[in-house]
Amino acid sequence: MIDELGKLPGVGKRSAERLAMHVLRMDKREASALTRAIEEVKARVKPCTTCHQLSENDPCDICADPRRDGSIVCVVEDSSDIWAFEKNSEYRGRFHVLGGRLSPLKGIGPEDLTIDELLDRIRGGGISEVIIATNPDVDGDATALYLAREIEPLKIAVSRIGLGLPVGGSLEFADHRTLQKALQTRQKLTD
Amino acid sequence: MIDELGKLPGVGKRSAERLAMHVLRMDKREASALTRAIEEVKARVKPCTTCHQLSENDPCDICADPRRDGSIVCVVEDSSDIWAFEKNSEYRGRFHVLGGRLSPLKGIGPEDLTIDELLDRIRGGGISEVIIATNPDVDGDATALYLAREIEPLKIAVSRIGLGLPVGGSLEFADHRTLQKALQTRQKLTD
């Protein structure tokens, strides 16, 4: 049990031992409530067949919501990125979860992600713009460029989520790569 | 002396006392070297008459450097913002230091900044683009919009430094205002 608990993120050997000890002290009813909760979630939560985010429903609540704008699709790496948007960003379009990003060093190629599924979804019609919101680092940028090239023949707009100075931040404390990017991504204020 | 030292940024009453005690323990030669250093710098360092950054030379080294591109001017709030750019950003244009930003609440209006000087500099010719790099917060954004309106009649390009996700950051940890801005400032990847 300690070995299995130790595989959870943020749980080292010492924490795994403490968790295991806690489970041993639980009465039988509590312990089976815990295992049942895990088994139920694993049985119920599956990727949405449209956007591939983890959800109890299929289609998921976002894909099923008629008030969301289906013509804009924001492409993210993981389901947790959707939660970041849904918290407060006022984004009203839909999503597509890649299930990671291209990483030649880790042996993750296009076939390991839901790229074919995204292209099929676009070919299905009704989508006018794809916003690629992979993380703003080397692999995320490379994945964005790869996707843009794949989507280009389908004749819809492809954009990259804006990179630059974070809101509320200060120039003085920006690292030089962010400053450089912010100069490149400057926005016209006049015509 | 404790009162005067206590006015320095980051120096509270307790630190001011410790600094004062240190000065009292200095021998006379050391103490006068310190005061001479302060007086010399105050006498030598003045705003550059062109870009208004604090500099020992007038024009400053950046304004005097013929290898810098004089057709692009990056507008910043303070001289310290120039240092951020000069550290590593590969920016090769010139600068203009506003000396702060508009802030109605603090009673700082256009006449308190070097806005007239910037407009005169643009009217002098040779400038094709102004990049406004005031800090990415409410007052900084308002200052950028005010400047854009003032510069517009002079028929040169005005842009705002890019706001969005910082490079190397992660979507998951971005605050919602930055995510919202990053959606607005998305960049086209295809034509």
Chain A residue whose CA is closest to B154:
A190
Q: Does residue A180 share a domain with residue A101?
A: yes
Residue of B84, B145, B157 with shortest CB distance to A171: B84
**A61 domain-assigned:** yes
ipTM over 0.85 threshold: no
Those of residues 14-73 in A touching chain B at CB distance below 8 A are none
Question: Are B78 and B122 contained in the same domain?
Answer: yes
Residue-wise pLDDT tens digits, A156-166: 999 999 999 99
Strands (E), B26-98: 46-47, 54-55, 69-76, 93-97
- If DSSP codes are grouped into helix, strand and coil, which group holds residue B18? helix
Write the pLDDT tens digit of every residue in A178-189. 988 898 889 888
Domain check: are A160 and A110 in the same one? yes
Same domain as B142, residue B58 = yes
The CATH number linked to B68 is: 3.40.1360.10
Same-domain pairing of A158 and A95: yes
Residue A34: domain span: 2-44
Mean pLDDT value across chain B = 92
Q: Are residues B28 and B105 in the same domain?
A: no
% of chain B exceeding 90 in pLDDT:
79
Q: Decide if A31 is inside a domain.
A: yes
Structural element, H or E, at residue B34:
helix B28-44
Shared domain check, A153 and A130: yes
What's the structural domain count of chain B? 2
Of B90, B164, B172, the CB nearest to A185: B164
Do B65 and B116 lie in one domain? The reply is yes
In the prediction, which pLDDT does B79 show? Answer: 94
Is residue A49 in a domain? no
- Scanning A113-172 for CB atoms below 8 A from B yields 131-133, 135-137, 144-145, 148, 151-152, 157-172
Closest chain B residue to the Cα of A82, Cα to Cα: B172
Express as a percent the part of chain B with pLDDT over 70: 99
Residue A191 has pLDDT above 80, yes or no: no
User: What are the structure tokens assigned to A43, written together?
Assistant: 């049985």
Mean pLDDT of B132-161: 94
B108 in a domain, yes or no? yes
Residue A123 lies in a domain: yes
pLDDT at B169: 83
For the whole model, what pTM was predicted?
Answer: 0.79
What is the CA B107 to chain-centroid distance, rounded? 19
Sorting pLDDT into bands at 50, 70 and 90, what band is B82? Answer: very high
- Band of pLDDT at residue A30, cut at 50, 70 and 90: very high
pLDDT tens sequence across A41-92: 999 999 999 999 999 999 999 999 999 999 999 999 999 999 989 987 689 9
Give the residue from A185, A188, A191 with the most B CB atoms within 10 Å of its CB, the best one to mutate.
A185
Residue B89 pLDDT > 80: no
pLDDT of residue B150: 95
Q: Is pLDDT above 90 for B18?
A: yes
Residue B152 lies in a domain: yes
Is the per-residue pLDDT at B73 higher than 80? yes
Residues of chain B contacting residue A130, judged by C-beta atoms under 8 Å apart: none
* Cβ contacts of B181 on chain A, cutoff 8 Å: 162, 167
| Secondary structure (DSSP) of chain A | -HHHHTTSTT--HHHHHHHHHHHHHS-HHHHHHHHHHHHHHHHH-EE-TTT--EESSSS-HHHH-TTSEEEEEEEESSHHHHHHHHHH----EEEEE-SS--BGGGTB-GGGTTHHHHHHHHHTS---EEEE---SSHHHHHHHHHHHHHHGGG--EEEE--BSBPTT--GGG--HHHHHHHHHT-EES--
CATH at B20? 1.10.8.420
Q: Do residues B101 and B165 share a domain?
A: yes
Q: Determine, yes or no, domain membership for B159.
A: yes
Same domain, A8 and A69: no
How high is the pLDDT of residue B88? 74
Q: Could you tell me if residue B49 is inside a domain?
A: no
Give the mean pLDDT of chain A: 92
User: Nearest CA of chain A to the CA of B129: how many Å?
Assistant: 10
- B170 and B143, same structural domain? yes
Percent of all residues in chain A with a pLDDT value above 90, rounded to a whole number: 79
pLDDT for residue A164: 92
Q: How confident is the model at residue B172 (pLDDT cuts 50, 70, 90)?
A: confident
Pairwise CB contact (< 8 Å): B178 & A157: no
pLDDT at residue B76, rounded to an integer: 96
Average pLDDT for residues B36-61, to the nearest whole number?
94
pLDDT attached to residue B189: 86
Same domain membership, residue A32 and residue A95:
no
| Nearest chain A alpha carbon to B86 | A176
